[in-house]
C-alpha cells in the first residue's frame, strides 16, 4: 500500500482526548496496510506560553545567543506532543516511535527562529517503518551544522511535513487541520464561501502568499518543487470515518490544470489586514533611485510587497511600497536616517498604517480578458477606492482602506460567482473565442 505523511496542527493535538483520537485515526490507516509518518505541532497555545515566559526574562535587545535559546525552548512543544502521540499509539496496541528533528536529522541553516531546511536524511525513518512502526517526527524544527536546535518560524510544521514527505518519497501528504479544506475565501467573512475539491499548486501558492492561512507558504513551495501530492482535510471528522471517504475528502492541491479548473476564472479571494504603505516623496527621477530605497530596506530584512512609482514631474517623482505593519516603524526610521540623506533636499517620507490588501486568484485568468475590470467595477459599485494595484498572470491585488476589506471581499466573492450566485460575465481572450 501507500507511504503517507500525516500532519496534525496544534488544535488537533490540543488535549489528551484529541491526541487519543489522532492515534486511533493513524492506527486505522496502518490497519488498512499503509505505512504512516506523523508530523505533529505543539499542543494548542503551548508555543505562545513558552515564548511568553521567555519574554519576561530575555534582554531588551535580542541577541543571537538569546535567539538560540528561544529556539531551544520553543522546540520542546513539538517534542512533548510527539512523545504523547507515541504513547497514545502504543496504548492502542500500535508500535510507534518519536524522533526530534535533530535525531532524523533535519538539517537547516543557522537562522534562528526562521531557519530554512537544507537536507533531510530519510534512512532512519525508513528503517523504523520497515520494522512495522509508525514514525512520529517533531515538526517546526531541525539542527544546524554546529549542532544547535533551530526552528522554522511560525507555521513551520507544515513545511516540516511536506519536506519529510519529499525526502522519503511519500505517496501523499495529508495536512489535518481545524478546517475541512481550502475555501474560496475566509468563511468567517463570507459565510457561504465554498470548499474547493481541487486547486492547483500555482493558485495555492498565490493564496498562501496573499493571506490565506490554511497552509504556510513555504510548505506549498516545497510541495511544488518536489511534486508532493498535498491534501488539506479536517481532523475533527470522526476518527472511524470510512477510509475511502476520508482519503477523498478535503481539498486536493494538484499539479493538473484540468478543464474544469480553467472554467473557474477566479478560484479564491485572499486578504491581509496587517499592511502598511510607505511613500518617499520628491525623489529625483534618475537611474538607481529604486535600488537606493529598496536596497536599504532589503538589507534590513524587511519584505516589500506592492511597489508603485508615479509619473515624473519637473525631474521629481514619488515612490510608494507596502510592508508588513509590524515592520512599518522600522522602515520609516531606516528611510529617514539612512536613505533620505542620500537622496538630497526636498525628499520626505509619509505612511499609512490603515490599509489592507485584497487579491483575486485563478488559473482561469490566464485565458480570460476583462478580469481586472470586473474586479474594479465591483469595488467601484461599493464606493471603495483603490490606492495601489499589483498583478501577475493569475492574480490581481489591490490596496484599499482597511475599513472596507470585508465589504470588498464579499462584493468580489459575489461578482465572480464564488458564492453560487450568478457571476458577472467575463469574456475570453480573442484567441480563445
Burial of 200 from C-beta contacts in 10 A (0-12 / 13-18 / 19+)? buried
Q: Is 177 annotated as a binding residue?
A: yes
Q: Is 214 annotated as a binding residue?
A: yes
Query: Which helix (DSSP H) or strand (DSSP E) does residue 259 occupy?
Result: helix 259-263
Provide the 3-class DSSP secondary structure of residue 77: helix
* Alpha carbon 297 to its chain's center: 23
Q: Is 112 annotated as a binding residue?
A: no
Interior/surface letters 140-150, b for 16+ CB within 10 angstroms, e for the rest: bbbbbeeebbb
Q: Is 250 annotated as a binding residue?
A: no
Q: Is 226 annotated as a binding residue?
A: no
Q: Is 188 annotated as a binding residue?
A: yes
Provide the 3-class DSSP secondary structure of residue 182: coil
C-alpha cell at 30: 496502518
C-alpha cell at 379: 469595488
Q: Is 20 annotated as a binding residue?
A: no
Answer yes or no: are the C-beta atoms of 283 and 339 closer than 8 Å: no
Count helices and strands (H / E) in the chain. 14, 18
Cα distance between residue 326 and residue 302, in whole Å: 10
Q: Is 183 annotated as a binding residue?
A: yes
Q: Is 97 annotated as a binding residue?
A: no
Provide the 3-class DSSP secondary structure of residue 312: coil
Q: Around Cβ 196, how many Cβ atoms within 10 Å?
A: 23
C-alpha cell at 400: 484599499
Q: Is 286 annotated as a binding residue?
A: no
User: Which residue ranges make up the annotated binding site for substrate?
Assistant: 47, 78
Q: Which residues are annotated as a binding site?
A: 7-10, 47, 78, 177-178, 183, 188, 213-214
Annotated binding site for ATP: 7-10, 177-178, 183, 188, 213-214
Amino acid at each position: 500500500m501507500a507511504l503517507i505523511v500525516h500532519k496534525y496542527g496544534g488544535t488537533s493535538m490540543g488535549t489528551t482526548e484529541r491526541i487519543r483520537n489522532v492515534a486511533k485515526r493513524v492506527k486505522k490507516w496502518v490497519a488498512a496496510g499503509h505505512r504512516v509518518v506523523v508530523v505533529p505541532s505543539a499542543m494548542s497555545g503551548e508555543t505562545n506560553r513558552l515564548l511568553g515566559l521567555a519574554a519576561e526574562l530575555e534582554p531588551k535587545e535580542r541577541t543571537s545567543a538569546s535567539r538560540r535559546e528561544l529556539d531551544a525552548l520553543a522546540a520542546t512543544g513539538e517534542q512533548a506532543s510527539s512523545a504523547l502521540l507515541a504513547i497514545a499509539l502504543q496504548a492502542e496496541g500500535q508500535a510507534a516511535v518519536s524522533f526530534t528533528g535533530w535525531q532524523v536529522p533535519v538539517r537547516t541553516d543557522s537562522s534562528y527562529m526562521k531557519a530554512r531546511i537544507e537536507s533531510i536524511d530519510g534512512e532512519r525513518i525508513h528503517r523504523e517503518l520497515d520494522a512495522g512502526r509508525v514514525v512520529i517526527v517533531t515538526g517546526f524544527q531541525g539542527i544546524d551544522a554546529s549542532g544547535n536546535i533551530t526552528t522554522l518560524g511560525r507555521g513551520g510544521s507544515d513545511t516540516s511535513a511536506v519536506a519529510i514527505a519529499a525526502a522519503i518519497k511519500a505517496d501523499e501528504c495529508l495536512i489535518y487541520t481545524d478546517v475541512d479544506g481550502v475555501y474560496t475565501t475566509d468563511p468567517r467573512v463570507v459565510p457561504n464561501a465554498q470548499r474547493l475539491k481541487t486547486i492547483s499548486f500555482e493558485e495555492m501558492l498565490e493564496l498562501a502568499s496573499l493571506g490565506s492561512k490554511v497552509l504556510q507558504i513555504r510548505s506549498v513551495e516545497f510541495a511544488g518543487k518536489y511534486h508532493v501530492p498535498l491534501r488539506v482535510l479536517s481532523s475533527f471528522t470522526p476518527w472511524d470515518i470510512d477510509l475511502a471517504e476520508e482519503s477523498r475528502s478535503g481539498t486536493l492541491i494538484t499539479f493538473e490544470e484540468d478543464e474544469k479548473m480553467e472554467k473557474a476564472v477566479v478560484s479564491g479571494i485572499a486578504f491581509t489586514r496587517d499592511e502598511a504603505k510607505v511613500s518617499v516623496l520628491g525623489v529625483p527621477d534618475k537611474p538607481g533611485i529604486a535600488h537606493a530605497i529598496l536596497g536599504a530596506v532589503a538589507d534590513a530584512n524587511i519584505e516589500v510587497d506592492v511597489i508603485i512609482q508615479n509619473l515624473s514631474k519637473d525631474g521629481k517623482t514619488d515612490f510608494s511600497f507596502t510592508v508588513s505593519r509590524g515592520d512599518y516603524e522600522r522602515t520609516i526610521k531606516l528611510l529617514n536616517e539612512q536613505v533620505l540623506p542620500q537622496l538630497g533636499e526636498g525628499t520626505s517620507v509619509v505612511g499609512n498604517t490603515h490599509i489592507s490588501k485584497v487579491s483575486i486568484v485563478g488559473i482561469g485568468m490566464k485565458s480570460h480578458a476583462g478580469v481586472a475590470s470586473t474586479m474594479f467595477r465591483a469595488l467601484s459599485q461599493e464606493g471603495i477606492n483603490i490606492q495601489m494595484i499589483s498583478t501577475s498572470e493569475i492574480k490581481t491585488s489591490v490596496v484599499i482602506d482597511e475599513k472596507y476589506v470585508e465589504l470588498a471581499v464579499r462584493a468580489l466573492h459575489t461578482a465572480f460567482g464564488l458564492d453560487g450566485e450568478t457571476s458577472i460575465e467575463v469574456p475570453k481572450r480573442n484567441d480563445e473565442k
